[in-house]
């Protein structure tokens, strides 16, 4: 029996304090992130940077690093 160890997946849609993104802009599209929108409209990286879901998903198709601090991003 072969056991394959896969990397742990990270949940980019994790819960966060709505007040944490009160006045934050998405550095990818440079527009404001509305913390009152649905949970799946905003993604949070492990380094606690916030982005619009569509923006970060397109970014991760090209680069697996945080657009803000350039830390490596884990698979989703």
CA distance 5 to 48: 27
Question: Could you state, in order of their start, the residue ranges of all structural domains in the chain?
Answer: 1-76
SS3 of the chain: the string is CCCCCCCCCCCCCCCCCHHHHCCCECCCCCCECCCCCCHHHEEECCCCCEEEHHHHHHHHHHCCECCCCCCECCCC
Q: Select from 3.30.365.10, 3.30.40.10, 3.40.190.170, 1.10.357.10 the CATH code of 1-76.
A: 3.30.40.10
What pLDDT does residue 3 have?
A: 61
What confidence tens digit (pLDDT) does each residue in 22-68 have?
Answer: 557 899 999 988 766 666 788 999 998 999 999 999 999 999 999 99
4 or 42, greater pLDDT: 42
pLDDT classification of 72: cutoffs 50, 70, 90? very high
8 Å CB contact between 42 and 52: yes
């Amino acid at each position: 029996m072969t056991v394959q160890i896969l990397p742990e997946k990270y949940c980019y849609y994790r819960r966060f304090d709505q007040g944490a993104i009160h006045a934050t802009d998405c550095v990818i599209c440079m527009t404001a992130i509305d913390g009152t929108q649905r949970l799946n409209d905003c993604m949070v990286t492990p380094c606690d940077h916030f982005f619009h879901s569509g923006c970060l998903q397109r970014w991760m198709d090209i680069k697996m690093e945080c657009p803000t601090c350039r830390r490596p991003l884990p698979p989703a």
